[in-house]
Structure 1
Amino acid sequence: MVGNSLLELFYVSKLRITTSPPHSAVNMATTAVVTPQQVPNGIEHKENTTAVSTVSSWTTPQFAPHPRAAEILRQVEFYFGDDNLRQDAHLLGLIKEGNGSVSLNEVLSWRKMKQFKPMSAVREVLKQSTVVEITGNNKRIKSKQPLQKSMTVIPKINDNRKRNTVPADKPWLTKAMLKATGFEEYATDGPVKPAEFEQDREEYDPDIAFTQRIETAVARFTSKRKMHQNTKLIFDKFMIFGGIDCGPQQFTGGLSKAEMEDLTAKEIAERTSCYGVSERVVDGLDYDNEDGKAKWIVDFEAIAEGFLSSQFMSMSIWSDEDRVRTATNVLRNFYNYLLLHEVCPEYKDQLMAARKVCDLAEVELIKLAEVDVCLPGGFNTACSTLFGGNYAGLYASEGDWVNKDDDLGWSDEDAKIVFLTGIAAYGTEEQLARVEALVANGGSFASSFRVVSTEKLGLEVVSIELMNDEAKNIYEDSNFINTVVRPMGKLHCIRWEVPHAPPMDLPKSVTEAKKPKEFEFLLEEDTLKFCYPGLKMEAEAKELDIGIKWIDYFEATYASFFTWLTNERIREWKEPGPPKAWMLRQMGKGDGDGEVVPYDRTEDEVDDDDEMD
């Protein structure tokens, strides 16, 4: 095969194997995984101190750090002993959640352990145990040996027994911050009680203006939830993006106890709420304005798409899976409230669609983060290095100042082997023959091929093509083990018109006639597995005179539901006033004969002009 002969020529003189030391084995202390028997859960936690097979003893009481050291050892070793542990669903659940360990604060909060203080002395006692050990910077406790007997219950944490302890890796949290907020993933408001249902029908009557209903709903929604810094930041940005101002509304001070007694819960929520529909939005929703058209419309789905695909990604570390889930959960929680209380039944379909956007964002943004890190990929980087692209001349040889994590370009040798392997696996007969002749004659890559087109554009993925059998035979060759060569497939894209891109000087009829509508790029399969149809990107693509296209560099990636809304910009826009006198002097306003026509300045303009002078 032509492809194999091409690679054989390169193996002889150019192939550079880059080996790396094998990963060292890491021994991790873990508890044994035992398949739980399917028996009814509910066996109570046994807290007696009898029938303990092996209990550590304090051999030198005169030097014990705690006067009741023997009792402490006996009690804790009973908890973690096989006879108790195998039937304690709650403790097993804590161990599973903590990857084999339990917070020492948690253990000391149990009824029979509260009497042992201070914690520092108890910790020193437990360090002498033959059954348990102290780990995690002296903050956690675990069994020294895996469970030797089969479990008789299914591990499950009992929330009524769990102590709200501050995680060791998040010392800034307080006990108040650990309490339920109403934004938990499975938090629900329902079912609605009859009295509340009647109140809802009164406050959310469809005859009431939507702006009034949504203000009431936001006030009641926030009054029933506890917002921490992250959730409040997301919710406030979401409200602003959707046309609701965040700031003092009807009430700017604190309510006294006497005043609160005279108000209903609804009135308290309304007076203490800091959310209200923007005046500009209210005016824009009025169909009776000058031109008879609404400047704003209600579209929950579009706001969800615009916020999660644009606003949220610009204000937060959207590559963090926890932050993505926090954001989607805040929005979904709000939509669920509007649906449950039938705040706006006329927009029910929109709310259902907005919830689906949240579900989609949780899946796509995680994948998008992986793609964002991996692009432009090995083959594209190799082409850019060899043919004068963005990566050309960036390679830095090893030195004391070089950080291994920095992207300091590719060497020509690495770029050549990746490029040739890609051509051997996916090139046409014409491309293979031309490259083979170049390699055989020892020609220069940079001077033998010509870049015929360079274009900044938007791309949308339409399909992903994984390795075929022919390509697999090449990439699985033993010569490529521990090299820069990685198995590749194809990414098929079409043009995507970037909504926020600057306008083109030429008409579309001229520009689109000369541009290809479909693109095919080689990309590593490790990256392709995170790609999906609908994924979008802004990039610069180049093409060689032999028909090879590559992504020279990319600027940004976008979710399939990416929506560009100018909500915040429009809300802040103001109608320009009359031109200042200094503006008129600069423009030289004329009467058609080339003479400047005097302009009668107002008193304000005279003052402004004087200030400018």
Structure 2
Amino acid sequence: MAATTEPATVPEEHPDAPEIRRQVEYYFSDENLPIDLHLLQCCGGRENQPVSISRICGFKKMRGFKPKSMVPAALRKSAFLVVSEDGKQVSRKVALRGPCALDPDYFKDDEIAYDPRARVPAVQPVPLLPQTKAEYPEGKSKNMMKPTGFEHTYVEPPITPDEAQEEDAMYDPDKHFVERIEIAIQRFKQKRRMHEQYSNIFNKWMRFGGVDSAPRMSSFFPAHYGFNPHQIKTACQVLRSFYNYLIYHSVCPEYRDDLDKARKLCDTAEIELSKSYNAGLALPGAFNTAASTIFGGSKAGTYTGNVEWAIKLKEEGVDLQETSSKPCSTKAVKVLRDESFSLEVVTISPSDQLTREMYARQNGFTASKLQLQPLGTLVCRSFYLDDFNEYDLPKNKYSNGRLSKSEDGKQYEFWIEDRVLEECFVGMKLDARILTLAGGITILDDVREAMCSFYKWLPNELWMHRHPKEVVIRKKDLDEESEADVEDGEGGESKFADDESVYGE
């Protein structure tokens, strides 16, 4: 049985197709195009670049032809025009010849100068208009690309005398600081485009502790929002923009010095937050990792076992059992102290030329097995970080409310690879574990967190994670004696809750 073929369906033509062709042909005609400056900016004049059909459908006399999707089919039957394959652009079959309004000397012609349609000369040079839609980054729209007020170069606009008088009344120094800052926060949010990322940062900052807490977010923000350089720059710019707003509008002139310091810390944070993250990834380095494995530190026992890619490493003595069976093991060199506390980088000393030459000679003998990196020194001092982690220790044994540790300011010197030292900077804070070996050698066993130089722990961080609630005592849970005792106490009645208030009955 022969297969039957269905006839191809012919697309339906627009009922006003002749009028559409006539109107568009007039737009591109030799009579109109040379003086139509807007259309010349679209097609480039004699360059005859294709023009967006969607743009042409927006012209006054083309708006009545609906639907727009049928306009390209109507223009394809024109003997004067050419429509692109995708049906989105149209151009002349024969390019324009002769002078046009894009030419600098076009309006100098006496015959054209007095043409009523060409009275106003074009401003040269005439820019061409794009015929394709603007492409925006993923997740962005046209409105989201508009200025937000958080740009680095943004400047507060000038205010009128009436607005200045109104602000003087709102931010009167005789008013309480809390009242003034609340007004400033609301007006600041009204005058900025608070996209989601800016709103998230600003709201978290307000919750963290107020306008004077921003420089101390050096631990909370990176730990919860990551170390992406763009995110760090955005966060710092939000804080910096708010500080500029407070200074410009004289919200709290008594804190001007503190605001200036906070703005400088925002500049420092943009640099140090990224560097501290890179340093945290690089530390403690290969040398200290190997020492930690051998001497029973935090890296001990992390051997990969019989994983396929690690089988050959056994021959090099990576297995913990193999290292501990050698003469130079933990039995020969003992660990005298195992401590964990905060460190501050004091000095960074890369390896000297003699050390690098020695390592180069050594690597020449073991080129087929491993390449050792030259070691420099990282000098740190210990300091106590009052983070309330040990607040509940018995006072009779620990009068300061903390475990007895090394004296503050004690210096430690660590051997670390040069490439790791490049990521460190003076003043960087570390939360580290240290092994002190017999002979005075110190091993940087583990670095839990690397922080910027202005890091300081605030009790505000407790509020970001915990929301303690008031203990409510229900009367039905107490006997008569306990109820009487509580009621006799000061403020006891405020602690009671009826069953209805608890269960919502």
Within-5 A mapping of 1:500-519:
500=387, 501-503=389-391, 506=398, 511=404, 517-519=410-412
User: d(CA) in 2 for partners of 1:387 and 1:328?
Assistant: 42
Contact 2:275 2:423 in 1 (8 A): yes
What is the CA distance between 1:350 and its match in structure 2? 0.8
Q: Verify the 8 A CA contact 2:342 2:384 in the aligned structure 1.
A: yes
Cα distance in 2 between the residues matched to 1:391 and 1:489 = 22
Counterpart residue number, 2:143: 176
Q: 1:191 aligns with which of 132, 147, 158?
A: 158
1:49/1:381 CA distance change after superposition, 3 Å: farther
**What is the CA-CA distance between 1:543 and the residue it aligns to?**
1.6
- Mapped partners of 2:407, 2:261: distance in 1: 39
Query: 8 Å contact 1:49–1:74 — kept in the other structure?
Result: no
1:536 aligned onto 2:432: no
Is 2:316 the counterpart of 1:413? yes
> Which SS does the other structure have where 1:464 is aligned?
strand
Q: Cα distance 1:487–1:180, how it changes in 2: closer, same or farther (>3 A)?
A: same
Secondary structure of residue in 1 paired with 2:379:
strand
Q: Structure 2 CA distance, aligned partners of 1:377 and 1:313?
A: 22
SS in 1 for 2:430: strand
Cα distance change, pair 210–490 in 1 and its aligned pair in 2 (3 A): same
Correspondence for 2:195: 228
Partner of 2:73: none
Alignment partner of 1:548 is 2:441: yes
Q: Could you report, residue by residue, the CA deviation over 1:556-591 in whole angstroms, capped at 9, with x for unpaired residues?
A: 122111122223646955665679897999xxxxxx
Matched residue, 2:254? 346
The percentage of counterpart residues that share the same residue type is 31
Confirm or deny: 8 A CA contact 2:292 2:298 kept in the other structure.
yes
Cα distance change, pair 392–557 in 1 and its aligned pair in 2 (3 A): same
Q: CA deviation at 1:305?
A: 2.2
Counterparts of 2:92 and 2:479 in 1: how far apart (Å)?
A: 88
Q: Read off the aligned partner of 2:350 and give its amino acid letter.
A: L
3-state SS in 2 of match to 1:384:
helix
Whole-angstrom distance in 1 between the partners of 2:468 and 2:269: 30
1:304 match:
214
2:85 is paired with a residue of what secondary structure? coil
Give the drift of 1:465: 0.9
Structure number with the bigger relative contact order (C-alpha 8 A, sep ≥ 6) is 1
Larger radius of gyration: 2
1:447 Cα shift? 2.9
Say if 2:345 is the partner of 1:452: no
Cα shift at 1:599 = 6.6
- Partners of 1:204 and 1:343 within 8 A in 2: yes
Shift in Å, 1:62: 11
**CA contact 2:398–2:404 (8 Å) conserved in 1:** yes
1:214 aligns to what?
181
Q: Structure 1 stretch 508-517 or stretch 356-365: which is displaced more?
A: 508-517
1:467 counterpart residue number: 351
1:376 is aligned to 284
Please tell me the residue identity of whatever aligns with 1:165.
Answer: E
Separation (CA, whole Å) in 2 of partners of 1:476 and 1:74: 72
Is residue 466–residue 490 contact of structure 1 (8 Å, CA) maintained in 2? Answer: yes
Matching residue of 2:29: none
1:204 is matched with which residue?
Answer: 171
Structure 1 length normalisation: TM-score? 0.53
Is 1:324 the counterpart of 2:324? The answer is no
Q: Which amino acid letter does the alignment assign opposite residue 227 of structure 1?
A: M
Q: CA deviation at 1:209?
A: 1.9
1-side partners of 2:168 and 2:405: how far apart?
Answer: 55
Task: Please report how far the alpha carbon of residue 200 of structure 1 lies from its aligned counterpart in structure 2 after TM superposition.
Answer: 2.0
Q: 5+ residue gaps in structure 1?
A: 1-43, 53-60, 76-109, 120-162, 244-299, 417-437, 586-595
Alignment of 1:208-287 (within 5 A): 208-243=175-210
Distance 1:484 1:210, change over 3 A: same
The secondary structure found in structure 1 opposite 2:423 is: coil
Instruction: For 1:211 and 1:545, locate their aligned partners in 2 and report how far apart those are by CA, in whole Å.
Output: 57
Matched, 1:313 2:201: no
- Determine the C-alpha separation between the residues in 1 that align with 2:42 and 2:379: 59
1:65 to 70, 85, 90: 85
> Is contact 1:395–1:411 with CA below 8 Å preserved after alignment?
no
2:386 corresponds, among 457, 479, 499, to: 499
Q: Could you tell me which amino acid in structure 1 is paired with residue 354 of structure 2?
A: E
- Residue 180 of structure 2 aligns with an amino acid whose one-letter code is R
- Is the 8 Å Cα contact of residues 380 and 413 (structure 2) preserved in structure 1? yes
Give yes or no for contact 1:304–1:357 (8 Å, CA) kept in 2: no
Shift, 1:507, TM fit: 5.1
Asked if 1:165 corresponds to 2:68, the answer is no
Q: Taking structure 1 as reference, are residues 528 and 70 closer, same or farther at Cα in structure 2, changes over 3 Å only?
A: same
Q: Partners of 1:390 and 1:211 in 2: how far apart?
A: 48
Shift of 1:45: 12
Provide the residue aligned with 2:3 in structure 1. Answer: none
Say if 1:498 and 1:538, in contact at 8 Å, map to a contact too: no
User: Cα distance, 1:326 vs. partner?
Assistant: 0.5
The answer on whether the counterparts of 2:44 and 2:128 sit within 8 Å (CA) in structure 1 is: no
Q: 1: CA distance between counterparts of 2:178 and 2:461?
A: 18
1:363 and 1:584 map into 2 onto residues whose CA distance is 62
User: Would the alpha carbon gap of residues 330 and 485 (structure 1) be closer, same or farther in structure 2, given more than 3 Å must change?
Assistant: same
Question: Structure 2-normalised TM-score?
Answer: 0.63
Quote the RMSD (CA, aligned, Å).
Answer: 4.4
Deviation at 1:202, TM superposition (A): 2.2
CA contact (8 A) 2:384 2:408 kept: no
Residues 142-199 of structure 1, C-alpha deviations (whole Å, 9 max, x = no match): xxxxxxxxxxxxxxxxxxxxx75312xx2x2222222221112211213344333222
CA distance in 1, matches of 2:239, 2:169: 25
In structure 1, how many angstroms separate the alpha carbons of the residues matched to 2:301 and 2:219?
Answer: 34
CA distance in 1, matches of 2:390, 2:157: 48
Residue in 2 that maps onto 1:521? 414
The match for 1:84 is: none
* 1:538/1:557 contact within 8 Å kept: yes
Report the Cα distance in structure 1 between the residues aligned to 2:147 and 2:94, rounded to whole angstroms: 35
- The AA in structure 1 aligned to 2:334 is R
Q: Which amino acid aligns with 2:183?
A: T
Question: Secondary structure, in 3 states, of the residue corresponding to 1:353?
Answer: helix
8 Å CA contact 1:462, 1:492 repeated in 2: yes
Amino acid of the structure 2 residue aligned with 1:313: P
Pair 1:486 & 2:486 matched: no
